Structure 1
Amino acid sequence: MTYVASRIAAAALAVLALASLASPAMAANEPITIYTDNYAADEAMSRVARDLIEEHFDTPVELKPVSVGVSFVGTARDDRAMFLAAWLPATHADYMERVKDDVVNLGTIYTGAKLGWVVPDYVPADQLDSIEDLKKPEVAERLNHKIQGISAGAGLMKLSNKVVDDYALDDYRLITASGPAMTAALKRAIENEEWIVVTGWSPHWKWERFDLRYIEDPKGSLGGEEYVDAIANPTLVETEPEITDFIRRMSFELDQINPMLAEAERTSYDEAAQTFIEEHPDLIESWLEGD
């Protein structure tokens, strides 16, 4: 071997040695992806998780906003991914069924979640208190034969289509839109004291800002009380046990979430997450350190 060739070979070996030493650190510092589904509670809580992971575990986090279905599939396929908004047992049951063998359930983030159809409180309860009341001709007329919905892929919209069938609401049109478009339509109606029915859920900032109520669902088409779980890729659980154990301990009460969402609506999700962290030091410590 010539002198030049031997020097090149030695340099190559040195590079490989350095790479082998650096690779564990590089892997440890590789970003974690948290999928978000564009809905208020998930957006806010995912930012709380991101900020705490980056600050206390020295690991960068990328929030990736996608549709609900992609959140589940992405978590199952991406070795460093999780999703903090699996509504169970009903709303996201179909999505969870598809990936249940490819994700780890890290436990419940909060309980008391609810889906339903919502009206402003000024709509007289003696005229509209139940989904059954929507079949009254005078009620349908006041509502322009419309139910304001959200995005087509949302579990709530799948159940709302079932409501239309179960209650034979053939005279109504379930309008597909985004979550923000739904709240914009609600706001406009309230400003003009017009009747409106929207597909709604708790937690959400609208409960802090407006006087609203769910209308009854006597057939139970929209399901009962839900709980919201966090799911993670099995490889992430294996390679980042401290971070995923932190997520296992992360939990909220509904009366903590709604004010945070109202703050996010006034400012931003990023600011609301930081405010929440600053205002709940004992809670945050319990998540980080355990009981």
Structure 2
Amino acid sequence: MNRFTLTAAATALSALVTPALAADKGEVELAYVEWSTEIASTNVVKVVLEDLGYDVKITPVSAAAMWQAVGTGDVDGLVAAWLPTTHMHYLEKVADEVEDLGPNLEGTRIGLVVPSYVEIDSIAELDAAAERFDNKIIGIDPGAGIMSKTELAIERYELEDVTLVEGTGPIMTAVLGDAIDDNEWVVITGWTPHWMFAQYDLKYLEDPEGIYGGEEEIHTIVRKGLKEDMPEVYAVLDNFHWAPEQMAELMVWNQEKRADPYKNARRWVEENAETVESWKP
């Protein structure tokens, strides 16, 4: 094949590919909570939809605001619904205004987490050891479902000497890391998958009262009418599904120094083309 033929072939290929990627098919807005799991998944979906020609805006908000926004139709959807336990009270409020597309990731869990060297194994033992934990459970943002579950756990297990401390996901993991560096006892509100389980040796405290429920799933929720308005977007969101180890890989990348979650999501999409192709209509 001569140089002219190669150039012509490249031009023809570009003509086929570029318009599809460059096409402005409209704006899609997704809401998410700034947890490591949702930062990973929402950025991946953003990249996939952008590559199909959509202008995608992702907006970090509190859990309550995220559900309210999809319920009112102010955003098109979310891939961050922890069900059936953590976010069920939010879903119940907007159930008639949204559509649940089912799980995009299975095998999740929430609960109270401690370093494996901590010498208690159950939430029921927490109050007696409260001083070793500086009388604190290190939590995240106050609107999170795991926080309301922890407040219920404090009541149900009669943890009179323990206080739930509000914060954020990054603050919580920073406190955890500092405590482990000093071999100190610490208890946090934790969930799986999360990069901290890859970095540290951790364990869940047993929950005999079942406050935190069992195994959970992360679901995709969209506003009513999205299927008619944007059938291609709806199809991608409906097909979006990945494994905990795939999400964990991306979350670990996002913990690297000066990490850019969007750039890492694009790298993940490029390196997992077969999986991504299965999400497309």
Distance between the aligned counterparts of 1:271 and 1:61, measured in 2?
15
Residue among 159, 162, 185 paired with 2:152: 162
Partner of 2:186: 196
1:1-291 equivalences in 2 (<5 Å): 29-56=25-52, 58-78=53-73, 81-123=76-118, 127-136=119-128, 139-266=129-256, 267-289=259-281
The residue type equivalent to 1:274 in the other structure is: R
Unpaired runs of at least 5, structure 2: 1-23
Distance between the aligned counterparts of 1:167 and 1:250, measured in 2?
38
Give the Å deviation of 1:155. 0.1
What is the DSSP-based 3-state SS (H/G/I as helix, E as strand, rest coil) of the residue aligned with 1:188?
helix
Partner of 2:16: none
Change (3 A) 1:80 1:189: closer
TM-score for both structures, normalised by structure 2: 0.88
TM-score for both structures, normalised by structure 1: 0.85
Give the Å deviation of 1:90. 1.2
What is the DSSP-based 3-state SS (H/G/I as helix, E as strand, rest coil) of the residue aligned with 2:158?
coil
Distance between the aligned counterparts of 2:228 and 2:71, measured in 1?
14
The residue type equivalent to 1:225 in the other structure is: E
Tell me which moved more, 216-225 or 73-82: 73-82
Number of aligned positions between the proteins: 256
The residue type equivalent to 2:84 in the other structure is: P
Q: Report the identity percentage.
A: 34
Distance between the aligned counterparts of 1:33 and 1:242, measured in 2?
14
The residue type equivalent to 1:31 in the other structure is: E
Distance between the aligned counterparts of 2:117 and 2:202, measured in 1?
8
Distance between the aligned counterparts of 2:224 and 2:150, measured in 1?
33
Q: Would you say the 8 A contact 2:127–2:162 is kept in 1? A: no
Give the Å deviation of 1:70. 0.9
Give the Å deviation of 1:214. 0.7
Backbone CA RMSD of aligned residues: 1.3
Structure 1 runs of 4+ with >2 Å offset: none
Give the Å deviation of 1:275. 2.3
Distance between the aligned counterparts of 1:76 and 1:213, measured in 2?
36
Q: Would you say the 8 A contact 1:79–1:235 is kept in 2? A: no
Tell me which moved more, 270-279 or 61-70: 270-279
Distance between the aligned counterparts of 1:77 and 1:32, measured in 2?
15
Partner of 1:5: none
Distance between the aligned counterparts of 1:185 and 1:80, measured in 2?
33
The residue type equivalent to 1:222 in the other structure is: Y
What is the DSSP-based 3-state SS (H/G/I as helix, E as strand, rest coil) of the residue aligned with 1:100?
helix
The residue type equivalent to 1:163 in the other structure is: A
Q: Would you say the 8 A contact 2:127–2:160 is kept in 1? A: no
Change (3 A) 1:241 1:79: farther
Distance between the aligned counterparts of 1:225 and 1:214, measured in 2?
13
> Once the two structures are superposed, what CA deviation does each residue of 1:260-289 show, in whole Å capped at 9, x if it has no partner?
111111123113212211221111111114
The residue type equivalent to 1:65 in the other structure is: P
Partner of 1:13: none
Distance between the aligned counterparts of 1:170 and 1:122, measured in 2?
24
Distance between the aligned counterparts of 2:75 and 2:151, measured in 1?
35
> Once the two structures are superposed, what CA deviation does each residue of 1:133-180 show, in whole Å capped at 9, x if it has no partner?
1132xx222111111111111000000000000100011111111111
The residue type equivalent to 2:188 in the other structure is: V
Q: Would you say the 8 A contact 1:207–1:258 is kept in 2? A: no
What is the DSSP-based 3-state SS (H/G/I as helix, E as strand, rest coil) of the residue aligned with 1:218?
coil
Q: Would you say the 8 A contact 1:79–1:236 is kept in 2? A: no
Distance between the aligned counterparts of 2:193 and 2:109, measured in 1?
8
